Amino acid sequence: MSEENNDGTWSGLVKTAVATGGTLIVGAGTWLASNIFGGGKEAESAQPAAVTAPAPIINITTNNSQQQAAGGGTKERVVEKPAKPKAKTEKEALKEEPKW
């Protein structure tokens, strides 16, 4: 009484087999093509060896007198302080609720 439900999807084993077969076919085709057409051996011998350039040298020198003349030697800091509370007038003191 068991029925197989085939909803159109492949099983995991079939997917693995198809992927492995495809990989083998592509690999064999690449190997065969590289052997037939030389595999790029001529391109490697035609290129000269890569020459590495020396790293650039960066000299950073500053003159203190130039910085002070331009105003770059000092930095200005602005510090804000909270304002002092205003003194209460008698009228404001009477309007407040008493603190018990």
**Mean pLDDT, rounded, of the chain:** 75
Give yes or no for a contact between 95 and 89, defined as CB atoms under 8 angstroms apart. Answer: no
pLDDT at residue 73 in the model = 54
pLDDT at residue 54 in the model = 80
pLDDT, tens digit, for every residue of 3-20?
666 666 778 888 899 999
Q: Which two tokens stand for residue 44?
A: 């490697």
pLDDT, tens digit, for every residue of 77-86?
778 888 887 7
Task: For residues 29 and 36, give the distance between their C-alpha atoms in angstroms, rounded to a whole number.
Answer: 10
Q: How many Cα atoms within 13 Å fall on the side-chain side of residue 79?
A: 2
pTM over 0.75: no
Query: For the CA atoms of the chain, what is the radius of gyration?
Result: 42
- Residue 35: helix, strand or coil by DSSP? helix
- Which of these, 2, 1, 20, 23, lies nearest to 12 by C-alpha position? 20
